[in-house]
A and B are shown apart, each in its own frame.
Chain A
Amino acid sequence: MKRHLISAADLSREDAIEILDTAAELASVSSRPIRKLPTLRGRTVVNLFYEDSTRTRTSFEAAAKRLSADVINFSAKGSSVAKGESLKDTALTLEAMGADAIVIRHGASGAPHRLAEWVTGSVINAGDGTHEHPTQALLDAFTIRQRLGGPQQDGDGHRGTGLDGLRVTIVGDVLHSRVARSDVLLLSTLGAEVTLVAPPTLMPYAVSTWPCEISYDLDRELPKSDVVMMLRVQRERMTAAYFPTVREYRRRYGLDVGRMALMPSRAIVMHPGPMNRGVEIAADVADSSRSTIVEQVGNGVTARMAVLYLMLGGAEENS
């Protein structure tokens, strides 16, 4: 494993499959009566969160604690400038506290890159601006593999396999989505065929250079999708001329029961959360048996355990 996990592009196919396989093994821990492994005892993991994100922070916290690491939650809400302490000074402080890994969530794209220059421990990107969110992509890949991967469905049946040939359609605000960037990179590395669907205003410039297909027409993509991933539409986009009204957005890009019927029978619906029910996804779709949304949350802990295990524990075993 690399020292840091900042971009999904840092992961080779072998790296990614190793993480998914490790996650599959660790998943059994979550179903035990005592959900704890001693692997990272004496190691310190700092959750450095510059943005409110209860779900991601608690997911990392649970992952670290199940591996017996000491967890420090360092909440630095607001920009570093507003707070009065620079990211560098915070980094040096955490370094002095002996952080073996720093999990960082930050509103500015690239903040984890900067942090990695100033600390000796591992940096794990838990979402930076509109750049990337690689552990979300890992949990998405894990969920897809579990549901749709490989011919065998028993126990370790998917071990060593990627997502070859699976067709994943990601729908919504790709422009501002760190999840979409990481998903495109990781899922394509694992062999999936990714298609992005959005109004042209929410498609990044030069998106044609990405390893995926582009479409503006959701209805055309749904019949050939194995996975449909709906992205959250941020409230502030609704007033910035990206689309005329929420009503029109829902009509053209929202996933309701009628649209879900266009999908192949075994296809699944995903959402990284938090959802805007009734905007990008209808409530009865979110709650349907095809939805993996709750599963994704559980898999998030498992995938993050695998990352921490391989980055902190694995390194020790190898040396």
Chain B
Amino acid sequence: MSDNSNVYLIRGARVLGGDPGDILIRNGVIEAVGPDLEAGGAQKIDAAGLIALPGLVDLHTHLREPGREDAETVETGTRAAALGGFTAVHAMANTEPVADTAGVVEQVWRLGQQAGYADVRPVGAVTVGIAGKNLAELGAMTDSAAHVTMFSDDGHCVSDPLLMRRALEYVKAFGGVIAQHAQEPRLTEGAQLNEGEVASRLGLAGWPAAAEEAIIARDCLLAAHTGSRLHVCHVSTAGSVEIIRWAKSKGWQVTAEVTPHHLFLTDERAENYDTVFKVNPPLRTRQDVEAVREGLADGTIDAVATDHAPHPVEAKEAEWAEAAMGMTGLETALRVVQEAMVDTGLLDWAGVADRMSVRPARIGGSEKLGHGVSIAEGAPANLMLYDASAGSEAVDPKTHASKSRNSPFAGLPLPGRVYATFLRGVPTVLDGKVTK
């Protein structure tokens, strides 16, 4: 008698939103895709009406461990990821201690393995202690068990142009990429909110769009000059989209991401100084939201990345200037993308798969682990099932698996529901709930 515990037959799913069909998974691999498949003893999943997408890949996640386990742990963060349909997340380096050595990145990677909800791909710091002074041992992190290929001082900008140039050059030796948090530090001293009508009225120090765009322009030129790979984190302004579009038109190796919140929310949300809307880069204007949507639709922006940034309650229950920056996003990302991009006609489901799985997997190097690959015979079974027609239920952060509750979408009705997530053929989420 054969063991059928690892055999799943998904019935009637619409792969990339296409025609309904079945997907047969055995021992972590997609055995067949097609109509009316049969497999005796397989666990059957009724996916009629559901959309099947390759498992989502997040290029920008703050899992907070080690150091800030009160905000999130690798386990709670990856549970949240699985519930959002993600099978791989890139854990940002600004932990305590900073992920700037082989030891720390291996620790984070192992914690991900142990938790088992999603593949954790640690991002290494570019500079020691993300202090922007000396290059961290990037090669050692690449050679470690974590196989780091993406490096970022996220939260801080590698603002020193010479250091940025060297980092871009250095990682060419092992196919690495520098993910830049673009923020000119002098232009953003004490900055609290997008420099615009709202910040001026509220008396909050402005964070000008030019401070982001100036760094992106500089880094694109450096990437061109050195022939290196640049990835631009959380693009938030219309000007940034234009600069990246121009850099890509030159054939330079520049990629970019946008967060769900920058696709959806504007600085007007800060009207009442509600600190859940404090984030870096800040929420911008309606014109910026339109521009990043357009950039994502035409492929100028390659990926949606959550910048999931959990914070404990007390870090947000404060005066605006004192409050922590960042918002959670893993468990709402796809729903926001549906609302902002799909239901508006800007992107179809194949496009969503491209921007939330295929391209981020390519940028972050998780293709080799079987992420961001087509749902086709012989492929690793990393995929998710999504109910796009689920009624618009208001987001309730209290129900989230993340340890933190700082969702800017709280109370907003968003469409859709993640039904299931499969990591190497094993469901991490079924019927919207984690399986273990």
Contact = CB atoms under 8 A, between A and B. Distances in A.
A191 interface: no
A66 interface: no
A181 B203 contact: yes
Interface string A74-109: 000001110000111000000000000000001011
Nearest to B200: A204
B197 interface: yes
A109 B201 CA distance: 10
Given A110-B204, A129-B204, A178-B203, 7 more contacts: A109-B273, A110-B320, A114-B273, A131-B202, A205-B196, A207-B200, A209-B200
Contacts of A114: 273, 318-320
Contact of B273 (A79, A88, A113, A205): A113
Contacts of A173: none
Given A86-B317, A110-B273, A113-B273, A81 B203 contact: no
A129 B203 contact: yes
A120 interface: no
Contacts of A206: 196-197, 200
B203 A128 contact: yes
B203 A132 contact: yes
Interface residues of A, number: 26
Interface residues of B, number: 22
B314 A109 contact: no
Interface in B308-360: 314, 317-322
A202 interface: no
B322 to A, nearest CB: 6
A192 B159 CA distance: 47
B196 A131 contact: no
A211 to B, nearest CB: 11
A147 B319 CA distance: 39
B320 A81 contact: no
A297 interface: no
Nearest to B196: A206
Interface in B199-218: 199-206, 208
A130 interface: yes
A206 B205 CA distance: 13
A308 to B, nearest CB: 24
A131 B203 CA distance: 4
A87 B317 CA distance: 8
A53 to B, nearest CB: 17
A181 B201 CA distance: 7
A71 interface: no
Contacts of A205: 195-197, 199-200, 206, 208
6 contacts: A81-B318, A108-B321, A108-B322, A109-B273, A131-B204, A210-B200
Given A110-B202, A204-B200, A87 B195 contact: no
B266 to A, nearest CB: 14
Contacts of A178: 203
Contacts of B195: 205
A1 interface: no
A79 B320 CA distance: 12
B185 to A, nearest CB: 15
A111 interface: yes
A38 B348 CA distance: 70
Contacts of A207: 200
A259 B208 CA distance: 36
Given A130-B203, A181-B203, A206-B196, A109 B322 contact: no
A86 B317 CA distance: 8
A113 B203 CA distance: 13
Give the most central of A80, A110, A113, A131: most B CB within 10 Å. A110
Interface of A: 79-81, 86-88, 106, 108-111, 113-114, 128-132, 178, 181, 204-207, 209-210
A219 B422 CA distance: 72
| Among all A-B residue pairs, the 8 with the closest Cβ atoms | A110-B273, A131-B203, A108-B319, A130-B203, A204-B200, A109-B203, A206-B197, A108-B321
B399 interface: no
Interface in B340-389: none
Interface of B: 192, 195-197, 199-206, 208, 272-273, 314, 317-322
Contacts of B322: 79-81, 108
Contact of A129 (B196, B208, B321): B321
Nearest to B317: A88
B196 A109 contact: no
A206 B206 CA distance: 11
A205 B320 CA distance: 19
Nearest to A82: B322
B202 A109 contact: yes
A115 to B, nearest CB: 9
A130 B319 CA distance: 13
Nearest to B189: A240
Contacts of B197: 205-206, 209
A81 to B, nearest CB: 6
Contact of A80 (B201, B205, B319): B319
Contacts of A210: 200-201
Nearest to A9: B201
B200 A110 contact: no
A114 B317 CA distance: 8
Given A110-B273, A205-B206, A87 B319 contact: yes
A189 B378 CA distance: 71
Contacts of B321: 108-110, 129
B202 A111 contact: no
A181 B197 CA distance: 13
A131 B321 CA distance: 12
A129 B322 CA distance: 12
A210 B273 CA distance: 20
A131 B273 CA distance: 11
Give the most central of A81, A114, A178: most B CB within 10 Å. A114
A87 B318 contact: yes
A112 to B, nearest CB: 9
Contacts of A129: 203-204, 321
B357 to A, nearest CB: 39
Contacts of A106: 319
Contacts of B203: 109-110, 128-132, 178, 181
Give the most central of B192, B196, B199, B202: most A CB within 10 Å. B202
